[in-house]
Amino acid sequence: MAKKFNLREFQTALSQQLQAAASRDTSGSRLGFRVGETNWLVSLSDTEEVIPPPPIVKVPGVRRWFRGVANIRGNLYAVSDFSDFMGQGVTPDHADCRLLIPHHDFGVNAALLVRSTLGLKNINRYALREGPVAFPWIGRQYADETGAAWCDMDFGQLLGDAEFLKVEAQFGG
């Protein structure tokens, strides 16, 4: 016989877990994700959620990296292929792809299509790397224990970037 699922107990337990997580010091915690061949980090406080991509409706007359719009719990989100936007090629559709949704405090219904998520990372264990950054939305650059490079995303910079906001296709010269 299947075990009964008690929604109220589940919601209560989830609420307690979220409150406990919010009370912990997460200043070094970042969500790791992969875009093209680049490892990225984003602050948990800047992230609303990460979900598998729902059906995406294509929009005519837009740049290739703008995948279209998706209905997520009754709200429309503009879906952008983050890898393609940065000139690193189209993210292929596969089971590991995720939509990274910025926190609602940013005031935009945007979602970034990423190749995969890599779990929580503690940047307190990483070495800060100096040097020029390729994009204004790279807050800092790190090297992990194995020497792998990581870019820390500044969601505010990305979401306010003029090129990111200009999704209409460019025709002619």
Predicted confidence (pLDDT) per residue in 144-168, tens digit: 999 999 999 999 999 999 999 999 9
Rounded to whole angstroms, the Cα distance separating 40 from 6 reads: 37
Encoding tokens for residue 33?
């994700």
Which one is predicted more confidently, 147 or 10? 147
pLDDT band at 58 (very low <50, low <70, confident <90, very high): very high
Q: Is the pLDDT of residue 142 over 60?
A: yes
DSSP result, 109-150: -EEEEESEEEEEEEGGGSEEE-S--SSTTEEEEEE-TT--EE
- Residue carrying the six token digits 């059906």: 55
Q: Average pLDDT, stretch 88-114? A: 94
Q: pLDDT grade, residue 45 (50/70/90)?
A: very high
| Residue 66 pLDDT class (50, 70, 90 cuts) | very high
Residue 141: pLDDT band with limits 50, 70, 90: very high
List, in sequence order, every residue forming a beta bridge with 6; answer none if it has no partner.
Answer: none
Q: Provide the pLDDT for residue 28.
A: 84
Nearest to 34 by CA among 161, 163, 160, 148: 148
Give tens-digit pLDDT for 21-32.
Answer: 555 445 789 999
Task: Please state, in angstroms and rounded to a whole number, the distance separating the CA atoms of residues 39 and 48.
Answer: 20
Question: Which pLDDT does position 124 carry in this prediction?
Answer: 93
The sign of the CA dihedral 93, 78, 119, 19 is: negative
Strand partners, 90: none
pTM of the model: 0.80
Residue 139 burial by Cβ neighbours in a 10 Å radius (0-12, 13-18, 19+):
middle
Contact (Cβ atoms closer than 8 angstroms) between residue 93 and residue 83: no
Domains in the chain: boundaries? 30-165
pLDDT of residue 103: 94
* Mean pLDDT along residues 23-51: 86
DSSP H/E element including 32: strand 29-35
Q: For residue 82, what pLDDT band results from cuts at 50, 70 and 90? A: very high
Say which CATH topology domain 30-165 has.
Answer: OB fold (Dihydrolipoamide Acetyltransferase, E2P) (2.40.50)
Task: Classify residue 112 as exposed, middle or buried by CB count within 10 Å of its CB (0-12, 13-18, 19+).
Answer: buried
* Sheet containing strand 66-72, strands side by side: 47-51, 98-102, 110-114, 75-81, 66-72, 56-57
Q: What's the pLDDT at 1?
A: 47
Output the average pLDDT for the chain.
88
pLDDT of residue 5: 60
